[in-house]
Amino acid sequence: MCQKRVNIVQKGAETLTLRGKSHFGDPRHEKMNNQPTSLPLVFDIRKVPSNFGTGRLANLIVTFDNLERQFPFDPHHPVFPVKCELFFTITIITGEIRLLINLHEVTVSAGQLLVIMPGCIFQGQSMSADMRFCGMLIDTEYMVTMRKNVGVRLDMTHRYYNYLVRDMTPPLMANHMQMYEMIRAELTSDDYLYKKEVVQRYCEAWVLKNISLSDNAELPELAKPMNRKEQIFHDFLTLLEKFYTQERSISFYADRMCLTPKYLSTIIKDVSGKHGMQWIDEYVLLEAKALLRNSELSVKQVSDELNFPSQSMFGRFFKKMTGYSPKQYKML
């Protein structure tokens, strides 16, 4: 059975405080250190504290690790679940970490890479005392742009299933670490002309390498048989990935699947917790944001690219979804 999306609305304070130290189960695993730390309840790259990372490129990429320092935060064991609003990757070099990701227990061990997609809810359970790790936080729009640059779209089914755990052989791990260290070195170097472009090219190479790894990785639940509802939802996402720039009505997808719009809408809500139009609008919005923020296209060209009937209709859609006009967003 494929996992269901968990919707958690966080209200009030934007940060939580982590305190204390304790052990449970396997004595090799510890929960947290003695230092109070704060992390955002909504894990967005714009809210990540400055001392979280070892390198940073504006609000696009953050590298973090405990290879040459004591990590000042314990992101693996928040008291409350954290909603991820970016691409979160962590490579375990030694030791292991245990988490809940959308209420599924996940263990990531030495020689494995964990990728958490935007939209998931995760909560740390424990980590071994000998755990050494490195990772990157990547802005969602920036990731979409990099994948477009190398000719690879972000598959909708991967986005829904929220995370991947990938095994790496020793040679792949060595190569992965080399690329990470190159990216981190560029992020921490003095500013120079084309620094952003150089970092982006390194990251695009890193993305391609990880896509080649994902060919041998399974989505968390796809290895298990899907029931009828889950198969319908999976087929809907596959069609949406193909047609989202041309067709934005549930009726179109229902017709392609030989279902009634009402029945398809009910299935999508039951399986994912979200309405079908939410899936359509969110995917179109993500593409629109990436094109506006990270390309030289004009607002009209982005509107045409996404096949809106007019620039004004695109503007109304974008402002309804974000609170900004496309032009305002492009200038942020």
CA distance 294 to 1: 37
CA distance 254 to 318: 25
- Two tokens at 272? 């994912």
Lowest mean pLDDT among 26-40, 96-110, 125-139: 26-40
Q: Binning pLDDT at 50, 70 and 90, where does residue 14 land?
A: very low
Q: Binning pLDDT at 50, 70 and 90, where does residue 212 land?
A: low
DSSP 249-262: -HHHHHHHTT--HH
Q: Binning pLDDT at 50, 70 and 90, where does residue 135 land?
A: very high
Task: Note whether 103 and 34 are within 8 A (CB).
Answer: no
211-229 burial: b if 16+ Cβ within 10 Å, else e: eebeeebebbeeeeebeee
Taking alpha carbons only, the member of 113, 109, 62 closest to residue 89 is 113
Between 293 and 105, name the one with better pLDDT: 105
Between 35 and 88, name the one with better pLDDT: 88
Lowest mean pLDDT among 62-76, 99-113, 286-300, 311-325: 62-76
Between 93 and 213, name the one with better pLDDT: 93
Task: Note whether 210 and 147 are within 8 A (CB).
Answer: no
Q: Binning pLDDT at 50, 70 and 90, where does residue 171 land?
A: confident
Q: How far is the CA of 66 from the CAs of 7, 12, 148, in angstroms?
A: 31, 31, 31
In percent, the amount of the chain with pLDDT more than 70 equals: 75
Dihedral of CA 213/215/216/217: which sign?
positive
Question: Which residues, 6+ apart, have CB-to-CB distance to 234 below 8 Å?
Answer: 2, 157, 226
Between 276 and 290, name the one with better pLDDT: 276
> What's the pLDDT score for residue 166?
86
> What's the pLDDT score for residue 81?
66
> What's the pLDDT score for residue 49?
78
Does the pLDDT value for residue 285 go beyond 80? Answer: yes
Convert the pLDDT of each residue in 93-116 to its tens digit: 999 998 888 767 899 999 999 988
Mean pLDDT of all residues in the chain? 77
| 152 SS3 class | coil
CA distance 241 to 222: 18
Lowest mean pLDDT among 13-22, 67-76, 133-142, 204-213: 13-22
> What's the pLDDT score for residue 217?
46
Residue 88 burial by CB count (10 A; 0-12/13-18/19+): exposed, middle or buried? buried
Q: Where in the chain is the domain with CATH 1.10.10.60?
A: 228-331
> What's the pLDDT score for residue 204?
87
> What's the pLDDT score for residue 316?
95
Does the pLDDT value for residue 70 go beyond 50? Answer: yes
Does the pLDDT value for residue 180 go beyond 70? Answer: yes
CATH superfamily of 15-214: Regulatory protein AraC (2.60.120.280)
For helices 276-293 and 261-272, what crossing angle results, to 10°?
70
Residue 325 burial by CB count (10 A; 0-12/13-18/19+): exposed, middle or buried? middle
- CATH number, span 228-331: 1.10.10.60
Q: Where in the chain is the domain with CATH 2.60.120.280?
A: 15-214
> What's the pLDDT score for residue 205?
87
Q: Binning pLDDT at 50, 70 and 90, where does residue 2 land?
A: very low
